[in-house]
A and B are shown apart, each in its own frame.
Chain A
Amino acid sequence: MRLLTVESLDVFYGDVQAVRNVSFTVDEGEVVTLIGANGAGKSTTLRALAGLLVPRAGRVVFDGQELAGRPANELASRGIVLVPEGRQLWPAMTVLENLRMGAYPKHARARADAILGEIFAMFPILERRVSQKAGTLSGGEQQMCAIGRGLMAQPRLLLLDEPALGLSPLLVREVFASLRAIRARGVTIVLVEQNVPHALALADRAYVLETGRVTLTGTASELLVDSRVRDGYLGYGSV
């Protein structure tokens, strides 16, 4: 079943156009990744989907409803939840307060305790850090806390913006293992990631963005062997 349809999306920062005529679709239960270099418009697309930026043109249809330009808090309560780049935890709150606050949308409150247990099972380190201020966590722990906070909102569509950014190779692997576990629970994911090998290994399908446009699309396994992707993003092309 189709969960999300993005059609001809245009997003601007002032006069500068960051996203040009971007279209893609996401089916229920799918993991779709947007890959591309810095400044390709990946994060901008995600922020527009989450309602943090207002697209100038285009359609965003989620679960049969046109939602482009709606405020972020409304989208969150409909189940579109963003785990932002750079984590954006509330630094002066404890880990537990951050997670609890994640269950803010009305539909998420009833099962908050059960989900909290699942998150601690997925990230045992968070349970040991519950009463620590989020601002004092290490980068990897912060990322886990941010993902956990996103899960507390019980998303139907989880938007992940560079969850592996700035993490050590070991932690990157750990984060991607947790994303696999999240996918196994049936959460639909749109993943923006510069770590293309990992992203393609996780995703079902992928879209390649260049300077705000979609230039290539296909299943993840197709793109893994596509010469243009190998040359441009996988780092073992002939340069």
Chain B
Amino acid sequence: MRRLSLAAGVSLAVFTLAAPLFLERGTLNDVWSLAFAVILASAWNILGGFAGQVSLGYSAFLGIGAYTTVLLSLKGMDPFLSLPIGAVLAAIFSVAIGLPAFRLRGPYFTIATIGVGEAVRVCASSVSFTGGSSGLRMPAGSFDFTRNYEAMAVLAILTVVVAALVKRSAFGQALAAIKQDIDAAEALGVNSTRFKLGAHALSAAIVALAGSLYAINFQYIAPGSVFDFRLSLSIVLMPIVGGVGTIAGPVLGALVFSTLQIKLLSIPALRDSYLFIYGTLLIVVMLFEPKGILGLLRRVFNRRLRRFYADA
């Protein structure tokens, strides 16, 4: 199973990188969306999946990346050079909100993050340098889809690789200890707050990078688009539907999610119903397979394997 998912992952990575050679622009756009979704889901999973800290405030980091890029581009900076700045700002912001929020546990932490996300959206709509609720437009002539696509594809692959490395590292092991029993982790010397802050900052920085690329691609951002609560919700749903705390799960979730989104958006009557469908999906997953699609695949695969050996 591990070898199978590694092979699938590598083929997906190669396909994503090579896609501009044979796909037309419209389809390439869909792959761009997939890469974007993979980044958000896998990055969220570092804190939410590995450390078990479910945050519903991730649109804040996406928005910080997006706004940093647009504002600096308007000042004449190359948009791509603004990426690391947005990532650092998001990481700093994640620590600032993490310090008080990580004092809370479980659902209380989650509720606090909803508040943070909404507060950031309201702030962004009411101050003037962000263009208020009407948003901001990138300077003209700054758009190059191929370059943006490549950056997004590379970032998606790197994010999955980083997540896999984190999961195997001592850092990942400490996050697992925090998730499974935080008191035991503390009682054995794990500074849980520091690790949670670290995981939060890492995932926030990655999400901000994706946010910057999002802004470059769409050329226009507003609080209602990048600081949207529904966006935060989608970021959480993908890894949960795919298989929370795993490497392949968030990728699978992102695949399902972006495919559904593309299909639904092309049907005008269903355009606003996607959250309803995801909600239903979430309930189905929670009830029947809490380990997500990946858990389901593992079960089916293991059964096949057992039957194979029983027959042999």
Q: Which of A50, A102, A104, A108 interacts with B174 by CB under 8 Å?
A: A104
Indicate if the CB atoms of B189 and A105 lie closer than 8 Å.
yes
Contacts of A104 on B, CB cut-off 8 Å? 174, 188-190
A140 partner residues in chain B, CB cutoff 8 A: none
Task: Say yes or no: is B270 at the interface (Cβ < 8 Å to chain A).
Answer: no
Instruction: Pick from B176, B187, B192: contact of A92, CB below 8 A.
Output: B176
The verdict on A71 contacting chain B, using a C-beta distance below 8 Å, is yes
> What A residues does B183 contact at CB under 8 A?
52, 72, 84, 88
Q: Closest A-chain residue to B194, C-beta based?
A: A73
Q: Does A182 contact B (CB under 8 A)?
A: no
Contact with A along B180-213 (1 / 0, CB 8 A): 1101111111111000000000000000000000
Does B177 have its Cβ within 8 Å of any Cβ on chain A?
yes
Question: A98-112 toward B: CB 8 Å interface, digit per residue (1/0)?
Answer: 001110110010000
Q: Report whether B186 and A101 are in contact in the complex, using a CB–CB cutoff of 8 Å.
A: no
Interface size on A, residues (CB 8 A): 28
Instruction: Establish whether residues B184 and A73, one from each chain, have CB atoms under 8 Å apart when the complex forms.
Output: no
Asked if B180 and A76 sit within 8 Å, CB to CB, the answer is no
Residue pair B186, A153 in contact (C-beta under 8 Å):
no
B192 engages A101 (CB within 8 Å)? no
Tell me if B173 is interfacial: C-beta within 8 Å of chain A.
yes
Partner among B180, B186, B189, B191 whose Cβ is within 8 Å of the Cβ of A90? B180
| Cα distance, A91 to B181, chains bound together (Å) | 9
Bound Cα distance from A89 to B180, whole angstroms? 8
Answer whether A84 and B184 are a contact pair too, CB < 8 Å, given A101-B173, A101-B177, A104-B174. yes
Q: Is A36 an interface residue (CB 8 A)?
A: no
Bound-complex Cα distance A134 to B140 (A): 59
A149 within 8 A of B: yes
6 residue pairs A–B, Cβ–Cβ below 8 Å: A52-B187, A88-B183, A101-B188, A104-B174, A105-B188, A108-B189
User: When A and B form their complex, which 4 residue pairs have the shortest distance between CB atoms, in order from nearest?
Assistant: A76-B189, A72-B186, A90-B180, A105-B189
